[in-house]
Amino acid sequence: MLEGLFHPRGIVVVGVSENPNKLGYRVAENMIMSGYPGSLYFVNPRGGEIFDHMIFTNLEDLPDPVDLAVIIVPARFVPETLEACGQRGIPFAIINSSGFKEVGEAGEKLEEQSFEIARRYGIRILGPNCIGMLDTHLPLNTTFLPPPGPLPGEVAFLSHSGATCATVIDWARSQGLGFSKIVSFGNQIDIHETEVLLSIGKDAKSHVILLYLESIGDGPRFVETAKALSKKKPILALKVGRSERGYEAVASHTGALAGEDIAFDAAFERTGVIRARSLEEMLDWARALAWCPLPEGKRIAVLTNAGGLGVIATDALIDQGLEVVDLGMETVETLQGIFPEEANVNNPVDMLATAAPAEFAEGLSVLLSDEGVDGVLVILPPPPILHIADYARSIIPIIKAASKPVVISLMGGEILEGASGLFREAKIPDYRFPERAASALGVLVKRAKQIGTQIFDSGVPDGIEPGRAQSILEKAVIGESGSIEPFLASQMVSAYGIKIPEGWVASSAEDAYQAAERIGYPVAVKSNSAEIMHKSEVGAIILGLQDGDQVIRAYQQIMSDMGQRSSQIAVDQVLVQNMVEGGQEVVLGAIRDPQFGPLVMFGSGGVEIEGLKDVAFALAPIHREEAEKLVAKTWAGQKLGGYRGIQAADRGAVLDAILRIGQLVLDFPQITELEINPLVALPMGAGVLAVDVRMRVFESKT
């Protein structure tokens, strides 16, 4: 629990300075100006006085209670300061000081030393190298940021970047957006984003939570916490570092197509965290979520006095997946009675440039009364005659009384400041362009849908044999890359209830011939090497063999070709397999993300996988509803229902296979990569077949 951090009975600032040019002075000034109601003390070995407060020379002389120390001393003095805090019994510390691991090896050792001292005394640390935190409602401000601080409000902001906090505070003031709490994590040696997120979730003053993330310390715990919290409060996240990175030394297409950012997307989707793509977008959304009621649906009306801007808004709304709804007959007739004959009373509604404030107000009221309208976007460019603030005053009472969301596109610059101030004072979100206003409505619709979506717990599929899979894995010979032979990989999949074609391993031409005779023709012969990723590219697979002579020649050809191509790939076995005919080829795979655990992939398979990159990812475990969404995201999933000359495939069996692979990689954490390519989806009712299976594991089998 972080009660002493967020609601301290007493605070001491260690390293306070009487010099206005020092950060220690600024921290002291902010604490005084914040109006913190608890006991406040200042410490500096030199003593003195600041802001009519005595400066103590050491921590021992402080009276009780002191729950929090704000440390702003040079980095080299932090360990001894923490030692003194521990002896004094102070349970929490915010280390604003920099000069730790961010500056190199020496700083990293200093950071480790500081953490060891804190752990010995049970001190919880926020930071180091952070700006601290502030609470506008308690209130308190432990930061060294320049005044004025943030406006009091309903939005909590948790950030891995201190400089971003400063930027956001200043910008938000200009938009009328207030904050409940702001927390900067710095180097995050102890208290991390998930722990603070849990505490903020219980804060009645924080209605919307914003996250600026560079990484996640404990992925599974974050998923668990955010999933529970997002049901109660909207969580918006800006995860920076989206560029493609991929995974190093991957042994499958799944690994090559995955990346750190894809894992975050999957985690956010699982938890209900809404991901923003820019800081501006996140703050735009925050205002809408903090100030607007949620809509019942996605049917939007547009009200403006400029037809061209109405068209821009229409395009923007449709881009957001919203519906520019046809207005009801009664609504149209009422609007015809209000506006001039030349006005367009169909959605988007264009009242013409001469529309007066009263007409704006009456038109908005009529649109909000239409049962087929879930929200309204009002566009207000500078009017040709009256002052735009008059228009704002006319519609604000209607918006405040409405149970439906209304967002404003207040277009222009300096001439709009008066109207903008009125909207922000009334907590009605206004945006300079229709695209941003449409995006705000889009997030309101998304949040409303999110609240109405039931989150199902994943059940363990029936017909799985973990014991058999364990026995198979124990028999595997693991190659240098961690890969196991395809035949045993397919047996692992089979143990989890996914059918595989009949197949036999052969170590000689005669063995291959006998295997083909047992299976029946036609057959395929392929290398059983764990080290070959693209069999078709290197001649490691021959398909459609019709008799024993062809099988023998295929065996000999594969052995010869592989021996000539690479001495590093030992090919002493082939897999003779029943030919699978018909159906649709998809790919089903999994990779273990270092932060969030196993990710399951589905998409277009066969030789098209890398070219199309038609794949989607989801966190395991997966319930059926999530599997449905995963499949629906891809063209491969859409055409399972049939397309032109393509016969419909067994979609239900594909969904079942996704659940089974999700369970397999959960049950066996040593599996780092798994890929079935292709997984052949047979016609309706015929199931699926895992034709080619690759698997990579940690070196340890247990």
∠27-28-34 over CA atoms, to 5°?
85
CATH of the domain at 523: 3.30.1490.20
Among 434, 451, 468, which residue terminates a domain? Answer: 451
Inform me whether the pLDDT recorded for 315 exceeds 70.
yes
How does DSSP assign 154-205, residue by residue? EEEEEES-HHHHHHHHHHHHHHT--EEEEEE-TT-SSS-HHHHHHHHHT-TT
Q: What is the mean pLDDT of residues 395-402?
A: 98
Instruction: Give the mean pLDDT of the chain.
Output: 91
Whole-number Å distance between alpha carbons of 114 and 79: 5
HEC profile for 267-336?
HHHHHCCEECCCHHHHHHHHHHHHHCCCCCCCEEEEEECCHHHHHHHHHHHHHCCCEECCCCHHHHHHHH
d(CA 621, CA 606): 25
Q: How confident is the model at residue 658 (pLDDT cuts 50, 70, 90)?
A: very high
Same domain, 556 and 625: no
How far, in Å, CA of 83 to CA of 77, rounded? 10
For residue 671, tell me if it sits in a domain: yes
Question: What CATH number is given to the structural domain containing 642?
Answer: 3.30.470.20
Question: 3-state DSSP call for residue 556?
Answer: helix
Alpha helices in 460-603 (DSSP H): 466-475, 486-495, 509-519, 548-565
Q: At 572, is the pLDDT very low, low, confident or very high (cuts 50, 70, 90)? A: confident
- Per-residue pLDDT band for 702 (boundaries 50, 70, 90) equals very low
Same domain, 308 and 442: yes
Residue 659 in contact with residue 492, Cβ under 8 Å? no
Collapsing DSSP states into helix, strand and coil, what is residue 661?
helix
pLDDT value at residue 412: 81
Please compute Rg for the chain using Cα positions: 32
- Would you say residue 442 has pLDDT above 80? yes
Residues 519-528 pLDDT 10s = 999 999 999 8
Note whether residue 487 is domain-resident: no
pLDDT above 70 (res 699): no
560/571 Cα distance (integer angstroms): 10
State how far the Cα of 621 lies from the Cα of 460, in Å rounded to an integer.
Answer: 9
**Token pair for 146:** 């320049």
Confidence check: pLDDT of 215 > 90: no
**Residue 43 belongs to a domain:** yes
Q: What's phi and psi for 676, nearest 5 deg?
A: -110, 110
Q: Is residue 274 part of a domain?
A: no
Q: What is the mean pLDDT of residues 629-636?
A: 94
pLDDT greater than 60 at residue 259? no
Distance CA(121)–CA(441), nearest Å, equals 50
In a domain, 280, yes or no: no
251 pLDDT band, cuts 50/70/90, is very low
CA proximity to 410, closest of 387, 437, 371: 437
Question: How many CB atoms neighbour CB 122 within 10 A?
Answer: 9
Residue 619 has pLDDT above 70, yes or no: yes
Residues 55 and 132 placed together within one structural domain of the fold:
yes
The stretch 223-239 carries a mean pLDDT of 95
Domain boundary among 579, 611, 632: 579
Per residue in 681-698, pLDDT tens?
999 999 999 999 999 998
How many CB atoms are closer than 10 A to CB 441?
27
Instruction: Assess whether 326 and 407 both reside in one domain.
Output: yes
**Whether 297 and 194 share a structural domain:** no
568 & 606 share domain: no
Element (H, E) at 264: helix 260-271
- Are both 339 and 419 inside the same structural domain? yes
Q: Are residues 593 and 534 in the same domain?
A: no
Q: Tokens representing 547?
A: 């008799």
Task: Please indicate, yes or no, whether residues 620 and 563 belong to a single structural domain of this protein.
Answer: no
Across residues 373-391, what is the average pLDDT?
90
Give per-residue pLDDT as tens, 324-360.
Answer: 999 999 999 999 999 999 999 999 999 998 899 999 9
In terms of phi and psi (left: phi > 0; alpha: psi -120 to 50; beta: otherwise), the region of 22 is beta
pTM of the shown model = 0.90
Closest CA to 403 of 438, 439, 436, 365: 365
3-state secondary structure 12-80: EEECCCCCCCCHHHHHHHHHHHHCCCCEEEEECCCCCEECCEEEECCHHHCCCCCCEEEECCCHHHHHH
Alpha-carbon torsion angle 492, 497, 503, 506, nearest 10:
20
Cα separation, 47 vs 104, in Å, equals: 33
Tokens 């400066």 correspond to what residue?
A: 55
What is the distance between the alpha carbons of residues 17 and 278, in angstroms, rounded to a whole number?
A: 38
Burial annotation 574-595 (CB, 10 A radius, 16+ → b, else e): bbbbbbbeebbbbbbbbbbbeb
pLDDT at 700 over 50: no
- Residue 245 pLDDT level (bands cut at 50, 70, 90): very low
Amino acid (1-letter code) at residue 98: S
User: For the chain, what is the domain count?
Assistant: 4
Distance from C-alpha of 702 to C-alpha of 699, rounded to nearest angstrom: 9
Q: Pick the last residue of a domain from 206, 234, 260.
A: 206
Give domain status of residue 62, yes or no.
yes
Per-residue pLDDT, 160 = 93
Asked whether the predicted pLDDT for residue 597 surpasses 80, the reply is: yes
576 touches 524 (CB < 8 A): yes
Q: Which of 571, 578, 478 is nearest to 527 (CA)?
A: 571
Q: Is residue 492 part of a domain?
A: no
The pairing of beta strand 406-410 with beta strand 430-431: parallel
* CATH number of the domain encompassing residue 71: 3.40.50.720
What range does the domain containing 395 cover? 293-451
Q: What pLDDT does residue 254 have?
A: 46
| Closest by Cα among 554, 574, 551 to 503 | 574
Model confidence over 103-135: pLDDT tens digits?
999 999 999 999 999 999 999 999 999 999 999
**What distances in angstroms separate CA 475 from CA 151, 205, 478, 491, 504, one per listed residue?**
64, 58, 9, 11, 16
Nearest CA to 671 out of 458, 535, 463, 484 is that of 484
* Alpha-carbon gap, residue 132 to 70, rounded angstroms: 8
Same domain, 540 and 436: no
- Three-state secondary-structure class, residue 266: helix
Round to whole Å and give the CA distance between 403 and 419: 22
CA dist., res. 626 & res. 435, Å (int): 30
| DSSP code at position 212 | E
Return d(Cα 406, Cα 400) in angstroms, integer. 9
Q: In this structure, are 437 and 506 located in the same domain?
A: no
pLDDT higher than threshold 50 for residue 377: yes
pLDDT band at 253, cuts 50/70/90?
Answer: very low
Task: Return the sign of the alpha-carbon dihedral for residues 213, 214, 218, 224.
Answer: positive
Helix (H, G, I), strand (E, B) or coil at 446: helix
**% pLDDT > 70, the chain:** 93
Tell me the three-class secondary structure of 589-637, residue by residue: EEEEECCCEEEEEEEECHHHHHHHCCEEEEECCCCHHHHHHHHHCCHHH
Please state, in angstroms and as integers, the Cα–Cα distance from residue 698 to each residue in 105, 475, 701, following that order.
30, 15, 7
**Within-domain flag for 267:** no
Task: Give the residue from 511, 574, 516 showing the smallest Cα distance to 550.
Answer: 516
Q: What is the mean pLDDT of residues 246-259?
A: 46
CA distance 689 to 683: 11
Per the model's pLDDT, the better-predicted residue between 700 and 495 turns out to be 495
Q: Which of 23-32, 283-292, 573-582 has the lowest mean pLDDT?
A: 573-582
| CA trace torsion 554, 558, 559, 564 (10° rounding) | 140
Extended strands (E) in 340-470: 349-350, 375-380, 406-410, 430-431
Q: Are residues 105 and 189 in the same domain?
A: yes
Rounded to whole angstroms, how far apart are CA atoms 678 and 636? 12
Residue matched to tokens 């047996």: 491
Task: Name the band, by pLDDT with cuts 50, 70 and 90, for residue 413.
Answer: confident
pLDDT band (50, 70, 90) for residue 255 = very low
